Structure 1
């Protein structure tokens, strides 16, 4: 399996969620086939940035292109190029499914085949008892299963939220090693984490900058940043 990864270029981008601006004044460059890690404390906009980069959250200022396709105008195309492995909340494996059910569901949704699913599992070094429920898997294997299923259809890139959440040090090392393996086939990987992993990775640190809210000039309460 070899993939032509997607490159991403952003200048001065900002996005707003239900509770206000979630990140602002952000520049970034992601090379095709690279591992990029979005770091920052809780509430700094890490998940929102991943949503933005895969075409699921609109920017309100700035310029953003994914594989040459401008957002938000080409959001549908970008969504087909960059697939979420895990985005919290809302895009996670169903805990009460059996592993084999999760695989079947992903095959039907993505249109991939059984052979590609097996390659995805092999890519991240995962051997599972498929009669187990997803909730019975160790946290790192649950996340690796999500990565394998997202990578199986060979998209140009995947996004992976909260890589370090709930994992032991050895579990984190295993997941980061697997994500590096995904990039070795050319796929772009963008992951979020409280802290960066060791080694040579492209790091985007949040919060990125201050955002001017015009409501402040007319005495209205400004929305707090997420």
Structure 2
């Protein structure tokens, strides 16, 4: 984390992504100011992960548009990828269980210097480069509250031996080393106890308060998070599904979001969660990710 950074506003208008057999998500409208903590909620299979990846430039939407930091999606995917970073996303940016914590940190510091560093930094003496990498690592660990000394084997602890919350802190810390304007993570509260979930929300809230906009898929978001919902609304009969999204009253902002199922089905009653799951899988395979 080279210097203080600010978050980015995220907006979407009629945002949707369709695969060969159905919609992963559809009709998403949202407005989140810079530095927000935004929760993507909805049942499993409703397109939450696809929406997360689309808003970070890792998947190409097929309907509507979004803006992240003034960059328009789906046209400026590469630009959005440059200002965003992924925490844990299954199948995309998972921790390597064979690595130790130190190996993950050193690898990320090396990648940041190699691909994001200035020419001047590349010409530094080895001792100066090591000191800069150590400073970057220490800043990231401090930002996520991960104390290496508290781990079973310190920095030599294998990822497979980390508790779920420790692994979450490490993943977020690795992402923050890129000084992103937008941090995105999937299943943020998966397999966490109530006490651990509260700590996870404190972690993500602190990241947002420090200036980085946070976008997190979760099942039980905190009351103060802005929300984008992909839950189906059975009361609608036009084949599309919709949901209202809103912030806590104190946050003073909200959004509407929705999901749609397969457009090639004959009737609206054939719109099911299964088809949405197929649409998400197809869309991921069709569009790819980076």
Q: Same fold (TM over 0.5)?
A: yes
Give the aligned partner of residue 184 of structure 1: 209
Pick closer, same or farther for the CA change 1:124–1:210 going to 2, 3 Å: closer
CA distance in 2, matches of 1:178, 1:212: 34
**Structure 2 matches for 1:101-180, cutoff 5 A?**
101-111=103-113, 113-128=133-148, 129-180=154-205
**CA positional deviation for 1:15:** 0.8
Correspondence for 2:229: 205
The number of residue pairs the alignment matches comes to 223
Match of 2:12 among 10, 29, 32: 10
Q: Distance in 2 between matches of 1:3 and 1:78?
A: 15
Residue 84 of structure 2 is matched in structure 1 by 82
Q: What's the offset of the Cα at 1:23?
A: 0.7
Rounded Cα–Cα distance in structure 2 between residues aligned with 1:187 and 1:7 = 10
Structure index of larger Rg = 2
Kept in 2, the 8 Å contact 1:42–1:194? The answer is no
Could you tell me whether the CA contact under 8 Å between 2:262 and 2:275 is conserved in 1? Answer: no
Quick check: 2:262–2:276 contact (8 Å CA) kept in 1? no
Q: Distance in 2 between matches of 1:212 and 1:183?
A: 33
Provide Cα deviations, 1:19-52, integer angstroms capped at 9, x if missing partner. Answer: 5311111101121111000111111111111100
Q: 5+ residue gaps in structure 2?
A: 118-132, 149-153, 232-241, 243-257, 278-290
CA distance in 2, matches of 1:20, 1:114: 47
1:146 and 1:191 map into 2 onto residues whose CA distance is 13
Describe the superposition over 1:140-186 as per-residue Cα deviations: whole angstroms up to 9, x where unpaired: 00011000110122111110110111111111111110111111221
Q: TM-score, normalised by structure 2?
A: 0.72
- SS for the counterpart of 1:145 is helix
SS at match of 1:123: helix
Whichever structure has more helix as a proportion of its residues is 2
Change (3 A) 1:213 1:186: same
Q: Secondary structure at the match of 2:173?
A: helix
Gaps of 5+ in 1: none
Determine helix, strand or coil for the equivalent of 1:224.
helix
